[in-house]
Amino acid sequence: MDRKLVKRRSDTTWLVERTGKMHVDGVIFGSEQLINDMDDMVVRQVQNVAGLPGIVEGSFAMPDAHWGYGFCIGGVAAFDPDAGGVVSAGGVGFDISCGVRTMHTRLKEDAFLPLRERLADALFRKIPAGVGSTGRVKLSMSRLDGVLSGGAMWAVENGFGDKDDLRFIETGGCADGADPSQVSEQAKKRQLEEMGTLGSGNHYLEIQKVVQVYDQEAAAAFGIEEGDIKISIHCGSRGLGHQIGTDFLKKMTVTAKMYAIELAERELACAPLNSPVGQSYLGAMRAGINCALANRQMLMHLVREVFEEIAPHGTIRLLYDVSHNTCQREQHTVGGKQKWVFVHRKGATRAWEPGRAELPAEYRKAGQPVLIGGTMGTASYILAGTAQSERLAFGSACHGAGRNMSRHAATQKWNGKEVVERLAHQGILIRSRSMRGIAEEAPGAYKDVSEVVEATHQAGLAKKVAKLVPLACVKG
């Protein structure tokens, strides 16, 4: 990044000063090294978002930020509907409610290692993954509407999991205000056979070991100890979410012109929150959130089935489920007053502070678990929300490592089979149907996740609780 584009405010906070058509300042979080390695496009996209109507407080980018569609990946912005605030499909992303679900197993490393190969193979067989993968549940249109209305609640009611799971999912496992009637028939058709599937790209199911605990009190609240075996699932709303994004990008391009909204680029197409198209998108997007929550719930049920067969002394229990491609109606401090605003988080995770009534009682003192995914061969982290995060960026944090190389460039540099062999030498089993997909997602194609997490911690966006390393990974 051209350092002339930003001004340093602290070791981990960089100001993009309000200029031209920006309504607010921009703020990028990151260490000096992360800032140096960021593309100038991150600054440009932070500036472009700052010029959208009704934005409040600032246009933010998390430490894992990189160029995205409209908003940068890692972008956070809140909009006031009473001040003409807008909602943008590009500010949510095409994989609506892509997120991470982390589970306890009650296993320690010594009990897990003799079962590692069997569990990895069984999960690979059980979990549908890859481009075009289909699940074992084939839905009718009417049943799919139930998924889109009920989310993880629908999944539990239909035999996929336990009611207690819902307490450990954002919004209780169901996004209020979902409106399946606003989802196109094409989007629904794409999802009829994709429920309970992992997908491709950077999505995965990973068996992990806790290797370090940084905050004993928060770790105890979350049920984390060194040596624990955890399982994390990273996936989203599959074809349905992508189609919702595609459908509404077209509608919002027209709507922005109708309301004389000047866009810095077409990818920022948006609609006023209080407009018919804005309300329609919110209903469809919330249906997409419910699709993703139900999908991860169904995948967790499949994991439980595998463990019941191979490791019956292990017990799969949900630690937490967080999404990182959403627009949520939340109450925050704006101009010194509490106000309802719509917070876009694209490639960013909600990181609510201790004391929030929405959190499970067990976590309320520690803050919300923030789940940061790794890259097959690198660590993942569990953090906790902080009181500072509310003040800094509407209670938001990073979501992962963030790419530093395109998928095409990665395939030119790495061979999938060689990546699998190298990771096996490191004690990490990889199961995948696509060697090209492995090359695209090679660990070296991403930023250093440990540096991203450290910058997040130092900035006060979230605090480090535990570090986990991969032992086995199922990829699409």
pLDDT at 345 over 90: yes
Catalytic residues: 399
- Domain locations in the chain? 3-83+98-404+446-475
Residues paired with 326 in a beta bridge: 345
Q: Which CATH superfamily is domain 3-83+98-404+446-475 in?
A: tRNA-splicing ligase RtcB (3.90.1860.10)
Calculate the CA 42 to chain-centre distance. 19
Q: Mind listing the pLDDT tens digit for each residue in 269-290?
A: 999 999 999 999 999 999 999 9
Specify the pLDDT at position 133.
Answer: 73
Tokens 């539990």 identify what position?
156
Coil, strand or helix at 129:
coil
Mean pLDDT of 436-443: 91
Integer Cα distance of 141 and 383 in angstroms: 39
The secondary structure element, H or E, covering residue 392 is helix 387-393
Coil, strand or helix at 311:
coil
What type of residue sits at position 172? Answer: G
pLDDT band at 150 (very low <50, low <70, confident <90, very high): very high
Give me 467's structure tokens.
Answer: 């570090």
Integer Cα distance of 187 and 242 in angstroms: 8
Specify the pLDDT at position 135.
Answer: 75
Integer Cα distance of 228 and 112 in angstroms: 10
Give me 396's structure tokens.
Answer: 């938001």
Per-chain mean pLDDT for the chain: 95
Give me 268's structure tokens.
Answer: 């920022």
Give me 138's structure tokens.
Answer: 């084939």
Integer Cα distance of 278 and 272 in angstroms: 6
Judge contact between 122 and 395, C-beta under 8 A.
no
Coil, strand or helix at 262:
coil
Specify the pLDDT at position 310.
Answer: 96
Q: Mind listing the pLDDT tens digit for each residue in 358-409?
A: 999 999 999 999 999 998 889 999 999 999 999 999 999 999 988 888 899 9
User: How crowded is the C-beta side of 203, counted as CA atoms within 13 Å?
Assistant: 26
Q: Residues 6 or more apart from 55 whose CB is under 8 A from it?
A: 23, 24, 49, 77, 78, 79, 85
The secondary structure element, H or E, covering residue 370 is strand 369-372
Integer Cα distance of 75 and 57 in angstroms: 14
Mean pLDDT of 278-306: 97
Mean pLDDT of 146-165: 96
Specify the pLDDT at position 200.
Answer: 86
Burial class (CB in 10 A: 0-12, 13-18, 19+), 307: buried
pLDDT at 44 over 90: yes
Integer Cα distance of 279 and 271 in angstroms: 9
Specify the pLDDT at position 136.
Answer: 76
The secondary structure element, H or E, covering residue 232 is strand 228-235
Coil, strand or helix at 431:
strand
Angle between helices 276-310 and 141-150 (to 10 degrees): 90
pLDDT at 132 over 80: no
Tokens 């909600």 identify what position?
350
Angle between helices 276-310 and 238-258 (to 10 degrees): 170
Specify the pLDDT at position 313.
Answer: 87
The secondary structure element, H or E, covering residue 380 is strand 380-385
Question: Which DSSP symbol is given to 434?
Answer: -
Q: Residues 6 or more apart from 39 whose CB is under 8 A from it?
A: 1, 66, 67
Integer Cα distance of 229 and 221 in angstroms: 17
In this structure, the strands spanning 462-475 and 429-432 are: parallel
pLDDT at 476 over 80: no
Judge contact between 154 and 169, C-beta under 8 A.
no
